A = this chain, B = another copy of it.
Amino acid sequence: ATYKGQEYKAEMAGSLANISKFMAEPVTDKETLEKDSDKMKTRMELMIMEIQADFCRALEAEEEHGTVFRIDRWKRAEGGGGVTCVLQDGTVFEKAGVNISVVSGTLPQAAVAQMRARGKTFRKDAQLPFVAAGVSAVIHPRNPMVPTIHFNYRYFEVVDPEDNSVQWWFGGGTDLTPYYLNEDDCRHFHQTLKNACDKHDKEYYPKYKKWCDDYFFVKHRGERRGVGGIFFDDLDTPSQEKAFAFVTECAKAVIPSYLPLVKKHKHDGYGYAERQWQLLRRGRYVEFNLIYDRGTKFGLYTPGARYESILMSLPLTAKWEYMHSPQHGSKEAKLMDVLKNPKDWV
């Protein structure tokens, strides 16, 4: 315990030194962070703050007329808060949102029921305090040859006040939504995620790749939102320490999985037709997020939710054309084929 205590103090000292590089002050005050430096909620908060800062800075570095993120630090009346960073109408990014939130409170009964249905062993009708800490981002580039990326990594902790028993789990994922299919890009993206997974468990990548294909499914159209990536939830094995190391690894893999695609394609040529197709695909993105996405729904139905932070995932512009269907054999049809029949990339 003493050795572990020393280790956390060292981790904390490193993290606190980073605070000045964060997009804003952490949600939790410095004294509480130091006092609870060995707690997972503290370590997760500092990790996601660092991921947010690194990712935002990496995106800003790609902008060409110095557009930077707008930073909103907000509090939630019911407990906790977040830092929402949005870059809008840049030269390279049409809309980029990177949000962290650390919220606490008592679980709504609907959430308790939903989690029990998923296998959590909560007492029925219990008043359960929870903490949720997560980072979430959606990047919509301007150039249709640069894919949209989404990622989200989160930690959830529920304490039963009756016996102080704790249930905790991690969830998250990273997925790519191209407008035009570039197989090299898909391979690079998936390979980077697979490498991150393989360091922890060789079974993770195949399992979470399939979970991702199944989750990001626009059911009424029979098509996936994009070319997938990884997705998982309720991860509470093999230990809290190892699960945190895995989630941290995944979060750190976002930049190497995505930034090379931005650099490679941000100056690609395109015309009116490619822009129109991008806007139509963004309409499908909106359909998935507003109709099916659990995170969006859970967020919007949560009392006191900051809806601007949830809806920052929506594109700046989207289109819906009645009965649009790409021409047989076109580049657009080639993408649709992969969205209807997901394939293995690595």
Contact = CB atoms under 8 A, between A and B. Distances in A.
Interface of A: 70, 72, 86, 88, 95, 97, 219-221, 279, 283, 286-287, 290-291, 297, 300, 305, 307-308, 310-312, 314-323
11 contacts: A70-B323, A95-B322, A279-B317, A286-B286, A286-B318, A290-B291, A291-B291, A311-B320, A315-B320, A316-B321, A317-B317
Contact of A322 (B86, B279, B322): B86
Contacts of A88: 321-322
A279 B310 CA distance: 20
Rank and list the top 6 A-B pairs by shortest CB-CB distance, nearest first.
A290-B290, A314-B320, A220-B307, A86-B322, A220-B300, A290-B291
A287 B289 CA distance: 10
A254 to B, nearest CB: 21
Nearest to A313: B320
A221 B307 contact: yes
Contacts of A318: 286, 317-320
A297 B290 CA distance: 11
Contact of A305 (B220, B283, B305, B321): B220
A322 B307 CA distance: 10
Contacts of A319: 316-318
A218 to B, nearest CB: 9
A88 to B, nearest CB: 6
A250 to B, nearest CB: 26
Contacts of A86: 322-323
Contacts of A323: 70, 72, 86, 308
Contacts of A311: 287, 320
A220 B221 CA distance: 27
Nearest to A324: B308
Contacts of A219: 300
Nearest to A300: B220
Given A72-B323, A220-B310, A317-B317, 14 more contacts: A86-B323, A95-B320, A220-B300, A220-B305, A279-B317, A287-B290, A291-B291, A291-B297, A314-B320, A315-B320, A316-B319, A316-B320, A316-B321, A317-B319
